[in-house]
Structure 1
Amino acid sequence: MKKLIFIFVLISLAFLAIFISSSKKDEEIKIAFVGALTGKYSVLGNAMVNGILLAFEEINYEIDGRKIAFVLKDDKQDEDLNKNIINNLIANNTKIVIGNVTSSMSKVSMSIINNYDDIFMISASSASNEFSKKDDNFFRVHVANNAQRFDSFTNYVIKNNFKKIYGIYDPYNETYAKDYLINFEKSLVSKGENKLLTYEKTDINLDLLVDNIKKKNPDLILICANSVDFARIIQYVRLKGITTPFASAEWARTPSFIENSGKASEGVIFNIDYDEKSSNPNYKEFVNKYVKKYGIPPSMYASKAYELSKIIIEILKVGDETEIKQNLLAKREFEGLQDKIIFDEYGDVIRKYYNFKVINGEFVRVDE
């Protein structure tokens, strides 16, 4: 009798396991992109969406029998709207968020997400050092603005004898943009160089900006802003006869920057962890797929969004979406499009940076 009961229990447990497994496969994996899809930051957001969609289409929006339900949410760079979006996603039981486009909006999202242990957020662009060394559920495939990240950039600046540097940043994404200038300056000072002459904002009256630049007489103008604002500023400054070289954060390094600024873009220096002329076979294959689908070459942000989507897919094959952080940290090292992506215990990555200059309307890699 006891033996029959034992067999019955085993059979019941087996059926229960099959039922649970079957039920799990019927459930959708809910993934949301939250970021700027309209307005001046949409150049980044729409490129990221292109990369994400390409990655999910390759697996037909399905992982181990479970369908991926993917939604797009435009935060419009609006703090209150962004809060509502995140709260609604949580109420809808969404466990994976890709975003935001700007560090300022990522900060808003994480102020809510940090209250939940089972929600994971990963970004292709948020680089503020404010997120570094925090044991939370926010990961990035984009390098943080720490002083070490600027080594190759400041070496280039020193080698080219740029001593007086005029800083400009976007106050509407201050969490990233001002942080960029601060940590660039830290790297520079650590090598015995001077601090920046000033920290100016992109929303300053342009005639006043021109007057200030003439008074300060810098050797180099370093700007951290989106491609639209940078194009507007450099065109006006050049129109007023100022020939001071410009350097820029990777944020503005998009094809649209050269299109919008025209000849004014010539000579602009960028320091970036992305080379569109990379010979890596993974990257070449991705570019071919991207061009075939969208008819244009991918930007850095499309590429990084594709990379993080591939990482999500790989980790979801190991466990469900509530375990994504621990499963990702258990592996840590992933094959990227151009190099390996290695996460530290806080979800930050280290990648190699290169210096580029706009020459004849193209981004050309230059030596330190």
Structure 2
Amino acid sequence: MARDMHRGGRLWACGLAVLLGLAAFSPKEPVRVGFLGGLTERASGFSEDARNGVMLGVEQRNQAGGIEGRRIELIVQDHGDGLARVPAAFQALREARVVAVIGPYSSAVGLEVMPLANAARLLMLSPNVAANALASQDDYMVRIGRTVRQAAQSYAQLLHERGHTRIALARDMGNAVFSTTWSEDFHAAFSALGGAVVAQADFGAEPAVSYEDAVRTMLAAQPDGLLFIGPATDVARLAQQAAKLAAALPMAAVDWAANASLIELGGSAVEGMVFMQTHQRDDDSPRYLAFVSAYEARFGRTPTASAIAAYDATSVLADALARASVRGKADEDPKDAVLQNGPYEGLQQTIRFDRFGDTVRAAYPTVVRNGRFERLPR
């Protein structure tokens, strides 16, 4: 009997050794990263480009070994149009046990989701949210992009340099949090330079205002330029109406609209439209050109500023988690990891966060020329 017990003990030990050996060689738990965007909303092109940037960043990182040997698993959630589905989309990402979320992509959604993220202590790494109210806050939103105020000031400077003194603007009240603040900050900055906002037309809210009526309201004040605050779909249609009614009048639009959908929908009407964008389209650095080549091969389109910022956000998160792991802090709060392990090399700019998770990105003038976005010399 003693011999049987001894043999049983050896079998148990051998079995344990096999199990431990299998565990040692079993795949590591993936790092789950969430994406939150409006993939079925009116301005879906912006979020689609961002999702593509994140997807490419994740795929390339996994090909390079992931995060310290752990594969990244991307969980995509569409919050739809408006705000009604935002809480459910956020909760779905929580239930998927993501370590952080890349997104959202509008100020309205950012303000809606922020209390949820703070309560859950879940990092939101947003490439694009720009609301002034989300800056300089000790919260769980870390922003890659500029604030509304910084963007509006850069547009005021650009239009002033181009000789404009009387600007009429149209703003999308479907995203009133963004558009209202943007127009107010632009008005203040443009006025300080000696210019004037001579007309303002609102669209995108009830009661509905047609694009033609909005443009006629703008033109009635006899401006020397038009400025559109809205997504690509709306800006394209506003530009078409403006081209019919005042073909020679210069136009500008917020960088929110600067994606492939604008040119596809707007056609010749958007030729000459100017923007201030946070990436250099004439960048010939090997790293940027490699990204552009990979993006075009993967998605069949040229990357926009939204795609680039989303790709940068993915790199920031992966680098932060990897650096924390190397420092022996693999379980560090992702927010702390991002804030304490920088700076980070983006595709075109070095990314440095302050203690609130805010950063500043340089902006460059861009023009639509021959159906393409090109760098505009200043």
* TM-score, scaled to structure 1: 0.86
2:200 matches 1:199: yes
Cα distance, 1:278–1:296 mapped onto 2, change above 3 Å: same
Identity across the alignment (%): 25
SS in 2 for 1:284: helix
Gaps of 5+ in 1: 1-17
SS in 2 for 1:133: coil
Aligned to 1:36: 38
> Which of these residues, 131, 150, 153, is aligned with residue 128 of structure 1?
131
SS in 1 for 2:148: coil
Cα distance, 1:58–1:364 mapped onto 2, change above 3 Å: closer
Aligned partners of 2:108 and 2:70: how far apart in 1?
33
Q: Is the 8 A contact 1:77 1:105 kept in 2?
A: no
2:375 matches 1:365: yes
| 1:107-126 CA-partner distances (Å, limit 9, x unpaired) | 21112112233x10011221
Aligned to 2:91: 87
Q: Which amino acid aligns with 1:173?
A: N
Q: CA RMSD in A?
A: 2.5
| 1:78-125 CA-partner distances (Å, limit 9, x unpaired) | 3221111112322443331111122211221112112233x1001122
Q: Which amino acid aligns with 1:135?
A: D
> Which of these residues, 128, 146, 149, is aligned with residue 149 of structure 2?
146
2:226 matches 1:221: yes
Q: Which amino acid aligns with 2:126?
A: S
Cα distance, 1:210–1:152 mapped onto 2, change above 3 Å: closer
Larger Rg: 2
Cα distance, 1:366–1:299 mapped onto 2, change above 3 Å: closer
Aligned to 2:243: 238
Q: Is the 8 A contact 1:152 1:355 kept in 2?
A: no
Q: Which amino acid aligns with 2:215?
A: V
Cα distance, 1:239–1:68 mapped onto 2, change above 3 Å: same
Q: Which amino acid aligns with 2:148?
A: N
SS in 2 for 1:332: coil
Q: Is the 8 A contact 2:57 2:314 kept in 1?
A: yes
Aligned partners of 1:269 and 1:116: how far apart in 2?
41
> Which of these residues, 348, 360, 364, is aligned with residue 350 of structure 1?
360
Q: How many residues align?
A: 347
Cα distance, 1:218–1:88 mapped onto 2, change above 3 Å: same
* TM-score, scaled to structure 2: 0.84
Aligned partners of 1:259 and 1:142: how far apart in 2?
26
Cα distance, 1:347–1:132 mapped onto 2, change above 3 Å: same
Aligned partners of 1:322 and 1:197: how far apart in 2?
52
Aligned partners of 2:349 and 2:282: how far apart in 1?
13
Aligned partners of 1:351 and 1:190: how far apart in 2?
23
Report the Cα offset of residue 26 of structure 1: 4.2
| 1:151-210 CA-partner distances (Å, limit 9, x unpaired) | 54323322333111112111121222222222222222333433x224322332234223
Aligned partners of 2:91 and 2:181: how far apart in 1?
27
Cα distance, 1:254–1:321 mapped onto 2, change above 3 Å: farther
Aligned to 1:341: 351
Q: Is the 8 A contact 2:279 2:364 kept in 1?
A: yes
| 1:201-255 CA-partner distances (Å, limit 9, x unpaired) | 2332234223312321111111111111111111122223453221111011112
Q: Is the 8 A contact 2:282 2:375 kept in 1?
A: no
Report the Cα offset of residue 274 of structure 1: 1.4
Where do residues 1-368 of structure 1 align in structure 2 (5 Å cutoff)?
Answer: 26-60=28-62, 62-117=66-121, 119-147=122-150, 149-194=151-196, 196-203=197-204, 204-241=209-246, 243-317=248-322, 318-319=324-325, 320=330, 323-368=333-378
Q: Is the 8 A contact 2:167 2:225 kept in 1?
A: yes
Aligned to 1:3: none
Gaps of 5+ in 2: 1-19
Moved more, 224-233 or 162-171: 162-171
Aligned partners of 1:207 and 1:153: how far apart in 2?
24
Q: Which amino acid aligns with 2:175?
A: N
Report the Cα offset of residue 322 of structure 1: 5.1
Aligned partners of 1:192 and 1:237: how far apart in 2?
25
SS in 2 for 1:80: coil
